[in-house]
């Protein structure tokens, strides 16, 4: 028997983990060398003492005691907790305990094995931190890649815009001569015709020719970013004059127009033709957003705080998705079917309003209509 005890003691002393065996009263009946070193006392002096007093410097069983749970449940227990050492330093402690039962199957003793795993836990935490840092770097690289793709797309758009500039220049040259000829003949007809009805129609043709010529110049201005010719204009007159061009389209598409003009709005220093182009584009967009008919609202108001005039274009149409809203002002981006839109309208509007030191904003939700707000400085 003595040989067996010495053999067991020698075997367990060779284990680096702390091992102790206690009875139901938490009295130490066995302890290996590692556990006794933790207390700083000789093993013989610890036998019969309370484990919580000698090992953990407590006056009663520890709250996180796995051995006590072994006596309660009869099953093995394991925990990993932060502990305070006798030297006042915190460390991670892993505890494992299992029961020793008598011949009747009742728990007679509890074997507790515990080890300091601080280094392992810190290494795991460091690895987790490295994993999080790696994930962050991967996200940054992915974001940089998306930005690179976006930049490549913008470069492609820039090349397209350069091509549009050349095309516009050629188009202006080719169309200017016939438009000038038609305009000249309209003036001759105005001198010869006395019928007021025919004369009013010829004047409308002449006005539309002038607008065609100005539109070509606007396309050139857009591609060249030229300065605009600003004059004092009444914004309400610009809106009403533009709406005359699309009255028939509104009727055909069964769109009810509602205008609310603020009479306190002052005249603005703007390029009237360019602002009319913005109005026309936004109105046409509204018509496209109301394929089954509906209501269009145009409102002006004075924003005294911002020292600006706001022109609101609102409809109760199909709306624009959140993803598309981020791109509506990009050149060549369109949600319309092929052949029904170039994707330049809103981009041109944005450039024109920016050239006037203003801004254009968009609010929309799918199925709840769209609202464009054009702000122009006083």
Q: For the segment 351-374, what is each residue's pLDDT rounded down to a tens digit?
A: 888 888 999 888 877 777 888 899
Q: What letters, b where the CB count within 10 A reaches 16 and e where it falls short, cover 138-165? A: eeeeeeeeeeeeeeeeeeebeeeeeebb
Q: What is the mean pLDDT of residues 289-303?
A: 88
Compute the distance between CA of residue 261 and CA of residue 235 in angstroms, rounded to an integer.
10
Domain with CATH 3.30.565.10 in the chain: 227-377
Q: Are 207 and 200 in contact (CB under 8 A)?
A: no
Task: Show the tokens assigned to 46.
Answer: 């610890």
pLDDT in tens, 142-196: 888 888 887 777 666 666 666 666 676 677 767 777 888 888 888 888 888 888 8
Compute the distance between CA of residue 34 and CA of residue 293 in angstroms, rounded to an integer.
87
Q: For a pLDDT cut of 70, what percent of the chain falls above it?
A: 83
pLDDT in tens, 83-128: 766 566 777 888 888 998 888 888 889 889 888 888 888 888 888 8
DSSP labels for 105-123? S-EEEEEEEEEE-HHHHHH
Give the pLDDT band of residue 1 (cuts 50, 70, 90). very low
Predicted local confidence at residue 261, as pLDDT: 93
CATH class of 2-116: alpha beta
- Which of the 8 DSSP states describes residue 368? S
Predicted local confidence at residue 298, as pLDDT: 92
Compute the distance between CA of residue 346 and CA of residue 109 in angstroms, rounded to an integer.
83
Question: Is this structure's pTM higher than 0.75?
Answer: no
* Cα 163 to the center of its chain, rounded Å: 33
Compute the distance between CA of residue 367 and CA of residue 124 in angstroms, rounded to an integer.
51
Domain with CATH 3.30.450.20 in the chain: 2-116
Q: Are 300 and 262 in contact (CB under 8 A)?
A: yes
Q: Are 312 and 322 in contact (CB under 8 A)?
A: no
Compute the distance between CA of residue 327 and CA of residue 346 in angstroms, rounded to an integer.
10
Lowest mean pLDDT among 120-134, 236-250, 330-344: 330-344
pLDDT in tens, 64-75: 788 888 888 889
Long-range contacts of 237-241 (CB under 8 A, 24+ apart): 238/270, 238/272, 238/275, 238/276, 238/279, 239/279, 239/298, 239/300, 239/311, 241/276
In angstroms, what CA-CA distances link 254 with 243, 257, 294, 342? 15, 10, 7, 24
CATH of domain 227-377: 3.30.565.10
- Which of the 8 DSSP states describes residue 337? P
Predicted local confidence at residue 158, as pLDDT: 61
């Amino acid at each position: 028997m003595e040989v067996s005890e010495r053999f067991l003691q020698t075997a367990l002393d060779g284990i680096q983990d702390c091992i102790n065996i206690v009875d139901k009263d938490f009295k130490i009946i066995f302890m290996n060398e590692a556990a006794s070193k933790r207390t700083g006392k000789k093993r013989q002096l610890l036998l019969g003492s309370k484990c919580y007093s000698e090992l953990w410097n407590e006056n009663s069983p520890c709250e996180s005691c796995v051995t006590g749970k072994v006596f309660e449940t009869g099953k093995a227990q394991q925990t990993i907790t932060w502990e305070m050492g006798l030297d006042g330093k915190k460390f991670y402690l892993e505890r494992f305990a299992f029961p020793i039962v008598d011949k009747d199957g009742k728990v007679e003793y509890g074997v507790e094995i515990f080890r300091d795993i601080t280094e392992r836990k810190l290494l795991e935490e460091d690895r987790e931190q490295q994993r999080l840092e790696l994930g962050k770097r991967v996200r940054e690289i992915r974001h940089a890649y998306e930005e690179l793709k976006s930049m490549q797309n913008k470069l492609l758009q820039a090349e397209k815009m350069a091509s549009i500039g050349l095309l516009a220049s050629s188009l202006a040259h080719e169309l200017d001569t016939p438009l000038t000829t038609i305009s000249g003949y309209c003036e001759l007809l105005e001198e010869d015709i006395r019928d007021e009805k025919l004369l009013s129609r010829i004047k409308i043709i002449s006005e539309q020719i002038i607008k065609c010529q100005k539109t070509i110049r606007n396309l050139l201005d857009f591609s060249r970013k030229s300065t605009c010719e600003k004059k004092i204009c009444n914004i309400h007159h610009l809106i009403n004059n533009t709406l005359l061009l699309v009255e028939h389209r509104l009727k055909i598409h069964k769109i009810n127009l509602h205008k609310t003009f603020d009479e306190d709005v002052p005249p603005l220093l703007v390029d009237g033709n360019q602002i009319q182009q913005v109005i026309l584009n936004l109105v046409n967009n509204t018509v496209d957003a109301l394929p089954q008919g509906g209501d269009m609202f145009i409102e002006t108001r004075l924003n005294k705080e911002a020292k600006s005039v706001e022109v609101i274009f609102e409809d109760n149409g199909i709306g624009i998705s959140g993803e598309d809203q981020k791109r509506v002002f990009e050149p060549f981006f369109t949600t319309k079917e092929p052949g029904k839109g170039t994707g330049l309208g809103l981009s041109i509007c944005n450039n024109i309003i920016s050239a006037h030191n203003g801004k254009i904003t968009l609010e929309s939700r799918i199925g709840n209509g769209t609202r464009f707000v054009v702000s122009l400085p006083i």
